[in-house]
Amino acid sequence: MKRVRFAPSPTGNLHIGTLRTALFNWLFAKRYNATYILRIEDTDKARSKPEYEGNIYEGMDWMGIIEDEGPKKGGKFGPYRQTERIVDGIYQKQLDRLLEEKKAYYCFCTDHDLDGEREDAKHKNRPYIYSRKCLHLSAEEIDEKLKSDISRTVKFEIPDTKSLIVSDGVRDDIDFDCRLISDFVLLKSDGNPSYNYSVVVDDALMGITDVIRGEDHISNTPRQLLLFKALGFTPPQYHHLPMILGQDKSKLSKRHGATAVTDYENQGYLSDALYNFLALLGWSPTDTTEIFDRTSLSTLFSMDRISKSNAVFDVTKLKWMNGQYIRSLEPAALAEKVKPFIDDINLAILDTYTESDVVKIIYSVRDNIALLPDINGYLESFNTSFISFSEKVKSFQFSDSEKQVVLDFCCSVFEHSEFTSENISETMDVIVTKNDGKKGKVFKPIRKALIGLERGPNIVEIVSLLGKDVLSERASFLGKYFSA
Q: Where are the alpha helices (DSSP H) in 212-260?
A: 221-231
Answer yes or no whether residue 110 interacts with RNA by CB under 7 A: yes
Which residues from 335-354 bind RNA, rule CB under 7 A? none
**358, 447, 449, 465: residue in contact with RNA (rule CB under 7 A):** 447
3-state DSSP call for residue 29?
A: helix
Stretch that binds RNA, among 303-311, 342-350, 392-400, 409-417 (CB under 7 A): 303-311
Which residues from 241-260 bind RNA, rule CB under 7 A? 242-243, 245, 249-251
Answer yes or no whether residue 109 interacts with RNA by CB under 7 A: yes
Dump the DSSP string for 49-110: -HHHHHHHHHHHHHHT---SBBTTTB-TT---BHHHHHHTTHHHHHHHHHHHTTSEEEE---
**189, 262, 267, 352: residue in contact with RNA (rule CB under 7 A):** 189
**89, 116, 127, 159: residue in contact with RNA (rule CB under 7 A):** 127
Closest CA to 318 of 250, 365, 269, 367: 269
By CB under 7 A, the count of residues binding RNA is 84
Beta carbon of residue 128, minimum distance to RNA (angstroms, whole number): 5
Beta carbon of residue 108, minimum distance to RNA (angstroms, whole number): 8
Q: What residue type is 188 in one-letter code? A: K
Answer yes or no whether residue 314 interacts with RNA by CB under 7 A: yes
Whichever of 239 and 344 has its CB closer to RNA, that residue is 239
Task: Sheet containing 153-156: give its strands across.
Answer: 104-107, 153-156, 184-187
Whichever of 93 and 327 has its CB closer to RNA, that residue is 327
Dump the DSSP string for 265-325: HHHT--HHHHHHHHHTSSB--SSS-----HHHHHHH--GGGB-SS-EE--HHHHHHHHHHH
The C-alpha atoms of residue 395 and residue 301 are separated, in whole angstroms, by: 57
Answer yes or no whether residue 190 interacts with RNA by CB under 7 A: yes
Which residues from 375-434 bind RNA, rule CB under 7 A? none
Answer yes or no whether residue 310 interacts with RNA by CB under 7 A: yes
Which residues from 24-83 bind RNA, rule CB under 7 A? 41, 43-44, 47
* Long-range contacts of 293-298, Cβ-Cβ distance < 8 Å, separation of 24 or more: 294/64, 297/27, 298/27, 298/30, 298/31
Stretch that binds RNA, among 49-57, 166-174, 339-347, 472-480 (CB under 7 A): 166-174
Stretch that binds RNA, among 24-32, 230-238, 345-353, 441-449 (CB under 7 A): 441-449
261 touches 59 (CB < 8 A): yes
Stretch that binds RNA, among 70-78, 189-197, 229-237, 398-406 (CB under 7 A): 189-197
**443, 477, 481, 482: residue in contact with RNA (rule CB under 7 A):** 443
φ and ψ at 416, to 5 degrees? Answer: -85, 135
Closest CA to 379 of 415, 411, 353: 353
**Residues involved in catalysis:** 254
Beta carbon of residue 122, minimum distance to RNA (angstroms, whole number): 7
Whichever of 99 and 312 has its CB closer to RNA, that residue is 312
Answer yes or no whether residue 120 interacts with RNA by CB under 7 A: no
Answer yes or no whether residue 307 interacts with RNA by CB under 7 A: yes
φ and ψ at 213, to 5 degrees? Answer: -155, 175
Dump the DSSP string for 390-453: HHHHHTS---HHHHHHHHHHHHHHTTSSS--HHHHHHHHHHHHHHTTT-HHHHHHHHHHHHHS-
Answer yes or no whether residue 132 interacts with RNA by CB under 7 A: no
Whichever of 140 and 173 has its CB closer to RNA, that residue is 173
236 touches 208 (CB < 8 A): yes
**101, 143, 216, 422: residue in contact with RNA (rule CB under 7 A):** 216
Whichever of 133 and 455 has its CB closer to RNA, that residue is 455
Closest CA to 383 of 410, 352, 425: 352
**343, 439, 469, 472: residue in contact with RNA (rule CB under 7 A):** 439
**24, 156, 176, 409: residue in contact with RNA (rule CB under 7 A):** 176
231 touches 200 (CB < 8 A): yes
Answer yes or no whether residue 7 interacts with RNA by CB under 7 A: yes
Answer yes or no whether residue 460 interacts with RNA by CB under 7 A: yes
**66, 146, 180, 347: residue in contact with RNA (rule CB under 7 A):** 180
Answer yes or no whether residue 177 interacts with RNA by CB under 7 A: yes
Stretch that binds RNA, among 4-12, 21-29, 92-100, 136-144 (CB under 7 A): 4-12
28 touches 20 (CB < 8 A): no
The C-alpha atoms of residue 326 and residue 259 are separated, in whole angstroms, by: 22
**146, 317, 354, 385: residue in contact with RNA (rule CB under 7 A):** 317
Which residues from 260-299 bind RNA, rule CB under 7 A? 280-282, 284, 286, 288, 290
The C-alpha atoms of residue 296 and residue 301 are separated, in whole angstroms, by: 8
Closest CA to 402 of 414, 390, 393, 413: 393
177 touches 163 (CB < 8 A): yes
